[in-house]
Structure 1
Amino acid sequence: MIKGVTVIIPTYNHSDLLERTLVCLKHQEADISLFEVIVCDDGSSDDTKEVACSFESDLDLRYCYQKDLGFRAGTARNMGLHLAKHEICVYLDTGVLIGADLILNVIQFHDLHEHTIGLGTVHGMNQKDHQHPLAKYLQSIASSEHPEACLRNPMLKAYPDSRQTQFDFYENDLDRSSAPWSMFWTSMVSVETFLLRQVGGFDESFHGWGHEDLELGYRLWKAGLHFRSDPSLRALHLPHEQFNPVQMTSRKNHLHFVKLHQELPVELSYVNENFIFEMLLGQLNVADQYLPQNYDDLDPNLLGSHEEGRRLAVGYITPAFASRLNITDVFACNQRNAEIIRTQRPDVHTAFKAGFVNFCEDNMYQTVIITDVWKVIPITLLIVLLDDMLRIAKRVYLLDTADLELDKLPIVGELLPTGFHAESIASAGKTEVYAITRLVQQLHVEVNNL
């Protein structure tokens, strides 16, 4: 079944780059009836409108505009989604050059892969130096009547897509990744229009650069869509000068993403950006098979289960454990464990997360119990976890069970990081119970006792 494509291009004060992208679209091999172009202007003050409208005789093109209220790329893209008349939406960034076969390849991709997001290979992604000699060389081709010729240039090997290693590792089947949504970059991506509308399009609460695309990808992933890269969907992102340092809003928007989805995959992406966080996510998804969960020998009285106040357990636990220790809240480190507790103990507030990032008040919990899950968390992240648990709880206990066989897991650490003091308060079978404090607090207590 032949489908049509709506190409949505958000833009702001880069009419020169926009023109290059539109020239590539003008040269498409697909019949003009098979695709439309919607230019979504985020408040430009240059000649963007005039440049866009100059292509109306060559393309089925519409131009829409929103006032300049700051960087609102997601809102601009939603204007295009609202107007889209075809079955497939392709998001392109301004200054992205595409081959003459892109529209036909997108249609073929979605004929073969239903309910699947198509991720294109975008050469030059994350290349910021517009003064680089190679960038200048490609710019000379991009400025010609046929900018799509850039994609036939062997020099592109020096301008790889920074996701290419992952595309190759998963052999383009990104469903094999623990976090395919983390590769959902709207520099060039294609999705069936009705699926985008089902999840509500882009969240318009994002302002400034970054993460509105990953947040949409995360919702699409949770809705059950498949993710796949395809070498036939190729483009070149021309490097250009940024109006404002993107880091200023990227981190803020990332934290906003975490607040919208307080779940393990998103919080891991925030605290572990320099690590391949999907590897750790994969480990936490299976670690419950190697760690104790019920702790039958543990005496509830040792951990003050009779006391008033909220009590949080972190890791992998059974509903019976939650009942026996009077747990009111659970941070379950995999989705499976969270669903079991929600089903059998609906009175317990259960979240699929570890607690690296929390938005609750100081001392919100009377007690936090961290199970043996701490042994499968890298020490740099364990520091983050312990630090925030000590902030949100009056007391933090750590469970340490001996003789666990964790050698099949790639990340194992059984040492408490420096900066924390562990005081043994009880033994229960093979499990030792420790009260955790910050080392600086412990030294302060010892000095006062002199």
Structure 2
Amino acid sequence: MKLSVIIPTYNNLQRLKISLSYLEQQDMDKSEYDIILVDDGSNDGTSEYLGSLETEMNLLVVRQENMGQAKARNVALSLAEGEYVLFIDDDVIADRDFLTKHYESHMNYNDPNLVVVGQIKNIPFANYEAAIELINSKDYLKCNELDTFVKQDPYLNIRNWVWDYSLEYVSWLAFTTANASMSRDLVRNVGGFDEGFVGWGPEDVEMGYRLKDAGAVFEFKENIKNYHLDKAKSQDTFYSGLKRNLRYLTETKYPGNEEIGKYILFIGGQISIEEFNAFCSKGALIYNQNGSEHHFEFINYFLNKVKERELVAI
């Protein structure tokens, strides 16, 4: 098996159906990839749908009690047979050559420490219904036809900053479980995902940190893109889960770690990503061509996500 695609899902049936339909139409021979989908205790009809789904794909469905995405991905990893594993979410879609491009990237580089990170284009919740209407109007939609619905997302922009300005010492910030692949042995050798993270974030960034520490080489592939069908965010579950996970990161997982401490300052908007990179490199602060710095604030990001949900509900 060349490639194992790993997908956790939780109460996201409508988007999951679309995501699976695009995986069904991949140009890679179906005997060369499998999909391991872990249902993390959904109660929205996902289990019933998957139980009745007829597909020619090598699809393995595992159901577990609701224990979080980290646990779900680790369960899938334990079952993966592909030489390489590709992590995506249950709300992304991609063109027919998506899997092929990921696999060929590894073949071209032939580096067991390579982590391929693709581009994620965000379709915000406010544009979701219009995008779905267009998707459903055609037998097969080329994903770039959805570009009119795409909107810049501040969190996804962090990855662009890393690549655009060659901030290699914080390249682990760009690791994402929505569009990334690596050898199965590499991810297993670093211990998989930390199941102490439950709820949203930052289990993928923390995995990226361990991968970087183990000698991983991150390569951004702008042409390996998928489209994220964003979902409404609830302030209670979104924000409270993040606070708990950040405490776990700093107080339990990495107490006293200066790089993780700087990461917290960065996502709090207190230092720029350029300052963060300079600290990790133990070098001088290097500005980009126009001399500006780039800041990100999680709190404002979350509040805007919740606001989008409220505006659509009106």
TM-score range (shorter-chain normalised) is 0.7 to 0.9
Could you tell me which amino acid in structure 2 is paired with residue 281 of structure 1? F
State the one-letter code of the partner of 1:177. E
Q: 2:48 aligns with which of 50, 68, 82?
A: 50
The normalised TM-score by structure 2 is: 0.80
**Contact in 2 for aligned 1:20/1:147 (Cα 8 Å):** no
Q: Assess if the C-alpha contact under 8 Å between 1:44 and 1:68 holds in 2.
A: yes
Identify the residue that residue 108 of structure 2 maps to in structure 1.
112
User: Any residues of structure 2 matched to 1:170-181 within 5 Å, and which?
Assistant: 170=165, 176-181=167-172
Name the structure 2 match of 1:212.
203
Q: Deviations over 1:144-163 (max 9, x none)?
A: 56565233444155446424
- Asked if residue 238 in structure 1 is aligned to residue 223 in structure 2, the reply is no
Match of 1:203 among 194, 211, 226: 194
Say yes or no: does 1:26 pair with 2:24: yes
Supply the distance in 2 between the matched residues of 1:82 and 1:18 (Cα, whole angstroms). Answer: 22
How many equivalent residue pairs?
A: 279
Task: Give the structure 2 partner of residue 391 of structure 1.
Answer: none
Amino acid at match of 2:278: Q
1:198-256 residue CA offsets vs partner (Å, 9 max, x unmatched): 11100111122111111111111100000111022111110222355411111221221
User: Which of 86, 94, 99 pairs up with 2:95?
Assistant: 99
Q: In 2, are the aligned partners of 1:23 and 1:146 still within 8 Å (CA)?
A: no
Measure how far apart 1:52 and its partner are: 2.7
- The CA distance in 1 between the partners of 2:62 and 2:258, in whole Å, is 38
What does residue 218 of structure 2 align with? 227
Retained in 2: the 8 A contact 1:121–1:230? Answer: yes
Distance 1:216 1:112 in 2: 24
The range that moved more, 73-82 or 181-190, is 181-190
For residues 306-321 of structure 1, the aligned pairs below 5 Å read none
2:266 and 2:273 in contact (8 A); partners too: no
Aligned twin of 1:248: 240
Q: 1:148 to 1:178 in 2, by over 3 A?
A: farther
Tell me the CA shift for residue 58 of structure 1.
2.0
Post-superposition shift, 1:196?
0.8
**Deviation string for 1:119-152 (max 9, x for gaps)?**
1111117x4xx2x2x3332121234565652334
Higher percent of residues as helix: 2
Is the Cα contact below 8 Å between 1:10 and 1:39 reproduced in 2? yes
Q: Which of 144, 154, 165 matches 2:160?
A: 165
TM-aligned CA distance change 1:149 to 1:230, over 3 Å: same
Aligned equivalents of 2:135 and 2:3: distance in 1?
24
Q: Check the 8 A contact 2:117/2:218 in 1, yes or no.
A: yes
Instruction: Give 2:311's aligned residue.
Output: none
1:141 equivalenced with 2:131 (yes/no): no
Where in structure 2 are the equivalents of 1:251-270 lying within 5 Å? 251-259=243-251, 260-262=253-255, 263-270=257-264
| Matched-pair contact (CA < 8 Å) for 1:6–1:35 | yes
Normalising by structure 1, we get a TM-score of: 0.57
Q: Runs of 5+ in structure 1 lacking a partner?
A: 290-375, 377-409, 412-450
Spell out the pairing of 1:274-285 with structure 2 (5 A cutoff): 274=269, 277-285=272-280
Among all aligned residue pairs of Structure 1 and Structure 2, give the percentage whose two residues are the same amino acid.
Answer: 25
| Mapped contact 1:24–1:146 kept (Cα < 8 A) | no
For residues 197 and 147 of structure 1, the distance between their equivalents in structure 2, rounded to whole angstroms, comes to: 36
The alpha-carbon distance between structure 1 residues 272 and 213, as it changes in their structure 2 partners (threshold 3 A), is: same
Deviation at 1:264, TM superposition (A): 1.9
C-alpha distance in 2, partners of 1:149/1:286? 41
* Structure index of larger Rg: 1
Contact 2:37–2:60 (CA<8 Å) still a contact in 1? yes
| Cα distance in 1 for residues equivalent to 2:84 and 2:29 | 15
**RMSD (Å) for aligned C-alpha atoms:** 2.6
Displacement of 1:54 = 4.3
SS of alignment partner, residue 157 of structure 2: coil
**Matching of residues 350-365 of structure 1 within 5 Å:** none
Paired residue secondary structure (2:279): helix
155, 165, 178: which one aligns with 2:148: 155
Distance in structure 2 (CA, Å) of the matches to 1:241 and 1:158: 15
Give the Å deviation of 1:53: 4.1
1:90 matched to 2:103: no
Is contact 2:4–2:85 with CA below 8 Å preserved after alignment?
yes
Structure number with greater CO (CA < 8 Å, separation at least 6) is 2
Q: Could you tell which deviates more after superposition, 134-143 or 275-284?
A: 275-284
Partner of 1:61: 59
The amino acid across from 1:215 in the alignment is E
Question: Structure 1 residues 287 and 84, CA, compared in 2 at 3 Å: closer, same or farther?
Answer: closer
CA–CA separation in structure 2 for the residues paired with 1:124 and 1:251: 24
How far residue 51 of structure 1 moved from its aligned partner, in angstroms, is: 2.6
Give distance in 1, aligned partners of 2:35 and 2:187.
17
Is the 2:263–2:276 contact (alpha carbons within 8 Å) kept by the matching residues of 1?
Answer: no
2:23 and 2:184 map into 1 onto residues whose CA distance is 20
Structure 1 Cα separation of the partners of residues 141 and 172 of structure 2:
28
1:271 aligns with 2:271: no
1:21-75 Cα shifts (integer Å, max 9, x gaps): 0000011011101110111111011221233344453210000011125xx1100
| Shift in CA distance, 256/59, structure 1 to aligned 2, threshold 3 Å | same
User: After the TM superposition, which parts of structure 1 deviate over 6 Å for at least 4 consecutive aligned residues?
Assistant: none
